[in-house]
A and B are shown apart, each in its own frame.
Chain A
Amino acid sequence: MVDLPSAVQAHVVACCLATRAPAWLLVHQDGRFQAGQGALERYGLAGLQSACEIESQVPCLQGLWPFTGTPCYLPALEILTGTFADIHLFAEHTDVWVLFLDATAQVVQQRRLQQKANEMRWLQDHYWVTIGQRLGHADLQSPVHALREALTTLALLTQTLEALDMVVFERMPDGALQLTSTAPAWFINVCPEAATPRDGLQPGSVFPVLGPFLQEAEAFWARQGTGRYTSLPWSLGDAMAQEYSLEASALCCGKHQLLCLVPVPRPRCPGVSAS
């Protein structure tokens, strides 16, 4: 026994008796029940028959007999519906003590924490899988790293489009075209409302001359055409009388249908070209 003053020992025992509702069974090492006492009813252990096999009377002790002699600890077993017990088995000579201590309060508290932790972990796992699928990573180990890579690629793509003076629209399921790139200076010059992009900005309205090409582009998108379908160049001026020669291209990138507008130095022939 730890060297504790008798008053401390008595207090520890009193606390255990008050909060853990101990009950004990004495079982012969061959598995025959001998005696029991304590809060037996709490664990559904009242009325056990002496000299009969314990495992047929107490199912949670199934398979432990003959007892090997090695102490065994079985925490948080749900003995009866809503009642949990910590079970300790330890040998003394040819007998085995089976001690039941109520663990219901601890289990209820642990369940709250464990439920929350497991739900969060489960969500995180699914979140990683979803991000991995979106980014084309079958086995995503680090979503933060993958996201950083994807954002770097996106920034590079944005800078490339800006350097090419290219404007990109994506065709939405309802047929509307939505500006997805930043608007270069020439586009804002000919279409000042592009400086504050909004969903209603439609190339067909800004450039009425594009009408017939957009009809052909619809057919190209509908058949998931490969390469790109390019318009004849057309010219227009801005408010500062600067002249632009422009070209439109329709293309399909996976499930995305895109319209690109770009200034060109000289007229080109319309038609499909390899991308």
Chain B
Amino acid sequence: MIQKKICMVGAFAVGKTSLVSRFVDSIFSDKYHTTVGVKIAKKVLEIGTEAWHLLLWDLAGEDEFLQVRTSYLCGSSGYILVVDGTRRATLDMALDIQQRIVDAVGPVPFIILFNKADLTQEWDITQEACAGLAQKGWTWLKASAKTGEGVEEAFEALVAQMQER
């Protein structure tokens, strides 16, 4: 059995828990519930002929009082840096978190996921910012926990990176 730990990290209220709920249970709620500590969910993803048992660690979001605790990343096979596409500052925060993770646990596969892709009118991420990520060789994708668009694809993209290692 292939069992892997994946962490969801990012600023507060970017939609980490909503993405996990959409991916695992196919549900979405507009109501915001803050996450304290870590919630762990499970999902089996069929990749080709293999069943990947994913343990999804949904970490509390970072804010001005609380930094992401990198010890949670110990033993993880990959992580998703979640960004709120309507709040540019959450991209800066995600990049800062990514650097701290590298310092603490070394290079681990990750993708950047711009959530809230359904809110096109309020989109706050420039093409230049995305081009900058691509130049670094990083994978970034858009998704909407609300509509489900791009959610499964994001996890599949991360697992594909994990397979390459």
List chain A positions with a Cβ less than 8 A from chain B.
55-56, 59-60, 62-65, 72-78, 84, 103, 107, 110-111, 114-115, 117-119, 121-122, 125, 129, 139
Is A78 a contact partner of B63 (Cβ separation < 8 A)?
no
How long is the Cα–Cα vector from A64 to B42 in the complex, in angstroms? 18
Docked complex Cα distance between A107 and B66 (Å): 14
Q: Chain A's nearest CB lies how many Å from the CB of B54?
A: 10
Residue contacts A-B, CB under 8 angstroms, 13 given? A59-B40, A63-B4, A63-B74, A64-B74, A75-B37, A75-B69, A77-B37, A77-B38, A78-B38, A114-B60, A115-B32, A115-B34, A118-B12
Interface residues of B (CB under 8 A from A): 1, 3-5, 12-13, 32-34, 36-40, 42, 55, 60-61, 63-66, 69, 71-72, 74-77, 87-89, 124
B64: A residues at CB distance < 8 A: 121
- Chain A: minimal CB distance from B6 (Å): 10
- Give chain A nearest CB distance to B116 CB in angstroms: 12
Partner of B38, one of A55, A74, A122: A74
Beyond known contacts A62-B4, A118-B34: 4 more, CB 8 A cutoff? A77-B40, A78-B37, A84-B37, A107-B36
- For the complex, give the distance between the alpha carbons of A129 and B64 in Å: 19
How many residue pairs at the A-B interface have CB separations less than 8 Å?
A: 76
Let me know if A72 and B74 touch, CB within 8 A.
yes
A65 to B1, CA, bound (A): 16
Nearest chain A CB to B37 CB, angstrom units = 2
| Cross-chain contact B33 with A115 (CB below 8 angstroms) | yes
Docked pose: A253 CA to B109 CA in angstroms:
53
Identify B34's interface contact among A55, A75, A111, A125, CB under 8 A: A111
A65 to B74, CA, bound (A): 10
| CB <8 Å contact, A121 and B12 | yes
Contact of B87 among A56, A73, A78, A125 (CB under 8 A): A125
Which residues of the partner chain B approach A125 to less than 8 Å between Cβ atoms? 87, 89
Given the interface pairs A78-B40, A115-B34, the reply to whether A59 lies near B55 with Cβ below 8 Å is yes
Interface of B is mostly: loop
The complex places the Cα of A185 from the Cα of B23 at a distance, in Å, of 68
CB-CB under 8 A for A62 and B33, given A72-B71, A117-B63, A118-B63: no
Tell which of A56, A65, A76 touches B36, judged by Cβ atoms closer than 8 Å: A76
Complex: how many Å from CA A122 to CA B34?
12
Q: Which 5 A-B pairs have the closest CB atoms?
A: A63-B75, A76-B37, A115-B34, A64-B75, A63-B5
Min C-beta distance of B11 to chain A, whole Å: 10
CA separation between A63 and B53, bound complex, in Å?
13
Q: From A108, which residue of chain B is reached at the shortest CB distance?
A: B36
Scoring A77, A107, A111, A114 by chain B CB atoms within 10 A of each residue's CB, the highest score goes to A114
Report how far A59 CA is from B36 CA in the complex, Å: 19
CB distance from A124 to the nearest CB of B (A): 11
Measured in the bound complex, the distance between the Cα atoms of B124 and A103 in whole Å is: 38
Q: How far is the CA of A65 from the CA of B75 in the complex (A)?
A: 8
Q: Which of A103, A107, A118 contacts B13 (CB 8 A)?
A: A118
Residues in A whose Cβ lies below 8 Å from that of B34: 111, 114-115, 118
Chain A residues with Cβ below 8 Å from B66 are: 114
Inter-chain CA distance A129–B60, complex, in Å, is 24
CA of A75 to CA of B12, assembled, Å: 18
Report A-chain residues with C-beta under 8 Å of the C-beta of B55.
59, 62
The reply to whether B89 and A121 form a contact with Cβ atoms under 8 Å apart is no
Question: CA of A110 to CA of B87 in the docked complex: distance in angstroms?
Answer: 25
Return chain A residues, CB-CB under 8 Å to B36.
Answer: 76, 84, 107, 110-111, 114
Docked Cα-Cα span, A118 to B60, in Å, equals 11
